[in-house]
Amino acid sequence: MVFVKSHDIAELTTELIGKQVILGGWIEDLRKLGKMTFITLRDVSGIAQIIVKGELNDNLGEINRQSAVIVKGVVQETKARDFTFEIKAEEIEIVGKAIHPLPIDPIGRLESNIDTRLNHRALDMRNQRTASIFKLRHYVLQSLRKTLTEKKFLEITTPKIIGSASEGGANLFSLDYFGKTAYLAQSPQLYKEQMTIGLERVFEISNFYRAENSHTGRHLTEFTSIDIEAAFMDYNDVMDVLESLVIEVYKFTSENCKKEQEEIGHTIEVPSSPFERITYSQCIDELKKEGEKVEFGDDLLDSHLRIIGKNHPGFYFLMDWPMKLKPFYIREKDEDPTLSRSFDLQYGFLELSSGGTRLHDGEKLKTRLKEQDLDPAQFVDHLKTFEWGMPPHSGWGMGLDRLMTTLIGVDNVREVVLYPRDPDRLSP
Ligand code: AMO
């Protein structure tokens, strides 16, 4: 039999009754009833009932559930309650046999823990809850690209193998590069800033790497980041871009992914806007009121953010952080140089994004590098671009995996990443 399907299951309608179709998919269920066999066939788009009778049924033999099959048959009316038509099989070919028993139950009747599912991720994708998460992830990416393109951002791809750190020395993976030391990029920070001198507004959606020995539901060693950088914008402008992007993602998936929301058992609620914008100083005051021993200049610990998150559920911006807590490329506020033009986008206690206005004066950048014990000599290629007409610019980076957890209401980023990488997991 040919391998080419005539239709996806979702394309079948009662108008095709009497017509021959060729379907391809996996046997989700199989019931032998005397002279007949009922097969539930699933493909990526849906499920159909196949009925097998007569000689074909007599010669059917053993077929394990979850085997891949091609079915040629005729669409006909049905008495089944769950279907509006069925397919009377004329030919069935098992094109990919599945073993029995399988290591996990893809229908999800027998629940497996996340580690077991991740060990068999490809098979887990036949679980409709898991498949729906990754369909949603696709639509999130589609929405992000659409909105950013409408806002005149151009998609770029920067190198992931680099010669010096983009975010300072911490958490760097190093590798041998033909006898030299190379690193895996922690972010596209320096390259995206450089691109503003010609392309003005750029974005990148790529994987980046952090040698973070963290065992939490929100840290991975390889994560997907959505990054933007825009010339002639201040941090308030790129916060507006971020806010409208998040709102659009929620709107787009809430409207276009009804089936996926049903499968996951979670309704996507579009957040109200504008998002609250609170300052770091306000947070310190709030924490002090709650009896926390914290002073201006201290970094906010997870325990602090949990308190702030309780006071401000949902999305909010936490802005104007002290300069000393921010990376070398962040610019100070004119009216108070101890404060930075920076922000984090929070979802409760969870940090989704950070960004800010950048220093665009090369000399100041050099001074800041030294202040942070970084060697300007390591950044010569970057620093020289600041002599070529560097415009004022701002941007942010947002963890796609973390954004996905807020969208579908799960706690662990591993649920929304195909093959997560963390200190304990390097395969499959
Ligand atoms: P930052 O280091 O805050 O900023 O990272 C931006 C966002 O990326 C996500 N993220 C992670 N997600 C999962 N696992 C990790 N280990 C991990 N590390 C970071 C988070 C975080 O908010 N260059 C700046 C951004 C900018 O200023 O443009 C940067 O990388 O959601």
Domains for the chain: give ranges and CATH numbers: 9-96 (2.40.50.140), 122-416 (3.30.930.10)
Which of 342, 402, 407, 421 is the pocket-test mutation for ligand 1 (most atoms within 8 Å of CB)?
A: 402
CA of 399 to the centre of ligand 1 (A): 6
pLDDT of 278 reads 98
pLDDT at 27 (0 to 100): 98
Are 280 and 321 in contact by the 8 Å Cβ rule? The answer is yes
Which residue has a Cα nearest atom 28 of ligand 1?
396
| Token digits of residue 146 | 């659409």
Q: What is the reported pLDDT for 428?
A: 97
Whether residue 125 contacts residue 131, with contact meaning beta carbons closer than 8 Å, is answered with yes
Query: In this structure, which amino acid lies at residue 1?
Result: M
Ligand 1 atom with least separation from CA of 398: 7
CA–centroid distance, 333 to ligand 1, in Å, is: 22
Atom of ligand 1 nearest to the CA of 219: 14
Is residue 427 exposed (0-12), middle (13-18) or buried (19+ Cβ within 10 Å)? Answer: exposed
Q: Which ranges in 7-153 belong to alpha helices (H)?
A: 54-58, 114-119, 121-124, 128-150
**Ligand 1 atom nearest residue 329's Cα:** 27
- Residue 166 pLDDT: 78
Can you tell me the distance from the alpha carbon of 288 to that of 145, in angstroms, rounded to the nearest whole number? 41
In angstroms, rounded to a whole number, what is the distance separating the alpha carbons of residues 51 and 73? 9
Give the residues of the chain that fall short of pLDDT 50. none
Task: For residue 29, report the distance from its CA to the centre of ligand 1, in Å.
Answer: 43
Say if residues 247 and 270 touch (Cβ distance below 8 Å): yes
Residue 269 corresponds to which tokens in the numbers above?
């609620």
Question: What pLDDT is attached to residue 169?
Answer: 74
Q: Distance, CA 77 to ligand 1 centroid (Å)?
A: 54
Rounded Cα gap, residues 268 and 44, in angstroms: 22
pTM: 0.97
3-state secondary structure (DSSP) of residue 209: strand
Q: Which atom of ligand 1 is nearest to the CA of 354?
A: 3
